[in-house]
């Protein structure tokens, strides 16, 4: 009888440890996947910002071209803050702090955060390319899973469970999900340099940040990066 009870106890202990180790492994794999996806999202935002910046420089050098990317740059520039104070301050125990209202406006609105529609950078439509927390606060949301951009078309979003079936419908072969519906757990905040030339900031720093609750973690996961771009309006076009 004692041997049977000892065997059952041993089996139960091994089973519990095996399940715990398995759960830990699954949580670790899920966390690594989410971190990879977050980094890809951050890189996409960084490349989109560089693309707008470099295209505007090219546009300025080509004096016969229009000002399409100039319009994009002007909208991007309008999101810049003059001070870095509180830009990086984030309560790591609460991702929602960025979305919480303070006074008459949200923290987001106060610091002019934004996100770029990386699926459709339309130089003729800056408002649908660069979404601002000041004018488009409704699309910025706390991450329900990992940081992500959700796109839509005709009322259907990339988050719908039946998206694959409806997109493969013969009548929807050309469906493109390019309208930004929501930005979850990711935002960009830019800061103008204090040093100026002819009254114009010398450069701009773009703080790309993410925050979400990874599985099995008591504290939110945060990943971010900073890129610095020099003011294209101070770069010689070769005709000066």
pLDDT tens-digit readout, 77-125: 888 886 665 565 556 678 888 787 665 456 776 778 899 999 989 888 9
Among the listed residues 181, 123, 114, the one whose alpha carbon sits nearest the alpha carbon of residue 153: 181
Q: How far is the C-alpha of 74 from the C-alpha of 236, rounded, in Å?
A: 18
pLDDT tens digits along 227-236 = 999 998 887 6
Give the pLDDT of residue 238: 54
Note whether residue 66 is domain-resident.
yes
* 212 in Cβ contact with 99 (< 8 Å): no
Note whether residue 28 is domain-resident.
yes
Q: Which domain holds residue 228?
A: 2-234
Coil, strand or helix at 21? helix
Note whether residue 69 is domain-resident.
yes
Give backbone dihedrals phi and psi of 83, rounded to 5 degrees, phi first: -140, 145
The pLDDT of 22-38, averaged and rounded, is 77
Question: Please, what is the Cα angle at 170 between 165 and 176, to 5 degrees?
Answer: 70
CA 66: distance to chain centroid?
30
Q: Which residues contact 145 (CB under 8 A, 6 or more apart)?
A: 34, 184, 212
Enumerate the β-bridge partners of residue 209: 187, 224
Number of domains, the chain:
1
Q: How far is the C-alpha of 45 from the C-alpha of 83, rounded, in Å?
A: 22
Note whether residue 239 is domain-resident.
no
pTM of full prediction above 0.75: yes
Note whether residue 240 is domain-resident.
no
- Dmax (CA) for the chain in angstroms is 97
The pLDDT of 194-213, averaged and rounded, is 89
Coil, strand or helix at 90? coil
Q: How far is the C-alpha of 213 from the C-alpha of 235, rounded, in Å?
A: 42
Note whether residue 216 is domain-resident.
yes
Note whether residue 225 is domain-resident.
yes
pLDDT at 147 over 60: yes
Burial (Cβ within 10 Å: 0-12, 13-18, ≥19) of residue 148: buried
Among all chains, which residue has been given the structure tokens 């994009």? Answer: 72
Note whether residue 157 is domain-resident.
yes
Give the pLDDT of residue 80: 85
Give the pLDDT of residue 144: 85
Confidence category of residue 37, pLDDT binned at 50, 70, 90: very high
Residues in the chain, total: 240
pLDDT tens digits along 52-67 = 999 998 888 876 555 7
Question: What are the tokens at 24?
Answer: 């830990």
């Amino acid at each position: 009888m004692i041997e049977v009870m000892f065997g059952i106890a041993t089996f139960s202990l091994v089973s519990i440890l095996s399940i715990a180790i398995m759960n830990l492994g699954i949580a670790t794999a899920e966390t690594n996947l989410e971190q990879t996806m977050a980094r890809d999202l951050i890189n996409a935002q960084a490349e989109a910002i560089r693309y707008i910046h470099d295209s505007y420089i090219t546009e300025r050098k080509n004096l016969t071209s229009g000002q399409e990317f100039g319009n994009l740059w002007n909208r991007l520039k309008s999101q810049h803050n003059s001070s870095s104070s509180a830009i990086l301050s984030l309560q790591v125990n609460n991702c929602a702090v960025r979305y919480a209202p303070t006074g008459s406006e949200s923290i987001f609105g106060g610091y002019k955060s934004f996100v770029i529609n990386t699926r459709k950078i339309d130089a003729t439509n800056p408002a649908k390319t660069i979404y601002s927390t000041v004018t488009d606060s409704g699309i910025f949301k706390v991450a329900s899973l990992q940081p992500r951009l959700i796109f839509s078309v005709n009322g259907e979003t990339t988050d719908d469970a039946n998206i694959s079936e409806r997109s493969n419908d013969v009548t929807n072969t050309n469906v493109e999900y390019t309208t930004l519906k929501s930005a979850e757990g990711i935002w960009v905040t830019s800061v103008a340099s204090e040093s100026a030339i002819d009254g114009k900031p010398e450069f701009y720093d773009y703080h790309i940040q993410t925050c979400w609750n990874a599985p099995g973690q008591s504290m939110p996961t945060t990943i971010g990066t900073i890129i610095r771009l020099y003011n294209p309006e101070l770069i010689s076009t070769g005709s000066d």
